[in-house]
Amino acid sequence: MTRDEWGIVWLAGELCLAWTPPPSRSSPVTCPAALLGEPGSAPCPCPLPHGDSPLARLLRRLLSARRSLELCLFAFSSPQLGRAVQLLHRRGVRVRLVTDSDYMALPGSQIGRLRQAGIQVRHDQESGYMHHKFAIVDKKMLITGSLNWTTQAIQNNRENVLIVEDAEYVEPFLAEFERIWEEYNPANYTFFPTKKEQK
């Protein structure tokens, strides 16, 4: 495997994708327009390469969703991944996202755009971080690893991403998502002080 591309290896029957750009330069950048465009749309005229890349490979797996997508992400600022999630929502895929309250309000965060598009988002109300980084496609494919869904992480960081289609691994992550989803239900929080009963 080259140091600036995905390395694809089989590890105990599971597909492991390692994202490891060298520190001297960024990961190859390609335009994902062909993946994100509607069927029959005109080719993208931008000057970026339109070939394969780590991001394109991740997008293809993400865009394979047909019924549901659960996202549990610490930071989410990649516009390309944000567009992919919105596209899935428009196709009728049920998208639910759990994120960290501190990072969702940072400049460049995709969370506001996703909410405006009608995607369900819940976040923590805690002092610690909601630091998970995983996605579940159609309740049968797990995408997890060190990768934050940010431009910095995609283009410059040494990261790892593991993609697994095995219920033994998918189900515990799905159970964790459902647990957090319920824990972060806004109905569980008290946003205003409760008035003391008059004696």
Q: Which candidate, 26, 143, 123, places its Cα nearest to that of 75? A: 123
| Model pLDDT, residue 113 | 95
Residue 43 domain-assigned (yes or no): no
The three-state DSSP-derived secondary structure of 4-17 is CCEEEEEECCEEEE
pTM for this entry: 0.78
**Catalytic residue check, 131:** yes
| Model pLDDT, residue 83 | 92
Residue 75 domain-assigned (yes or no): yes
Q: Does 9 have pLDDT greater than 70?
A: no
Q: Does 3 have pLDDT greater than 50?
A: no
Tokens of 102: 């501190």
| Model pLDDT, residue 5 | 45
| Model pLDDT, residue 195 | 47
- Compute the average pLDDT of residues 113-129: 92
Residue 161 domain-assigned (yes or no): yes
**Catalytic residue check, 140:** no
Q: Write the single-letter amino acid at 172.
A: P
73 contacts 99 by C-beta, under 8 angstroms? yes
**Active-site position among 100, 123, 124, 133:** 133
> How many percent of the chain have pLDDT more than 70?
69
Residue 197 domain-assigned (yes or no): no
Residue 34 domain-assigned (yes or no): no
Residue 44 domain-assigned (yes or no): no
Whole-Å CA distances, 156 to 31, 51, 111: 16, 19, 22
- Compute the average pLDDT of residues 77-96: 95
List the domain range (segments joined by +) for residue 91.
6-21+53-188
Least confident of 30-34, 71-75, 93-97, 140-144: 30-34
What are the two backbone dihedrals, phi and then psi, of residue 140, each rounded to the nearest 5 degrees? -135, -10
**Active-site position among 4, 138, 139, 140:** 138
- Compute the average pLDDT of residues 124-153: 92
- Hey, which of 10-14, 60-64, 188-192 has the most confident mean pLDDT? 60-64
Residue 48 domain-assigned (yes or no): no
Confidence tier at 33 by pLDDT (50, 70, 90): low
Count of domains observed in the chain: 1
CA atoms within 13 A on the CB side of 97: 28
Q: Does 14 have pLDDT greater than 50?
A: no
**Catalytic residue check, 102:** no
Confidence tier at 95 by pLDDT (50, 70, 90): very high
- Compute the average pLDDT of residues 71-75: 97
CATH number, residue 67: 3.30.870.10
| Model pLDDT, residue 127 | 75
Residue 1 domain-assigned (yes or no): no
Higher pLDDT: 8 or 47? It is 47
| Model pLDDT, residue 107 | 86
Higher pLDDT: 10 or 146? It is 146
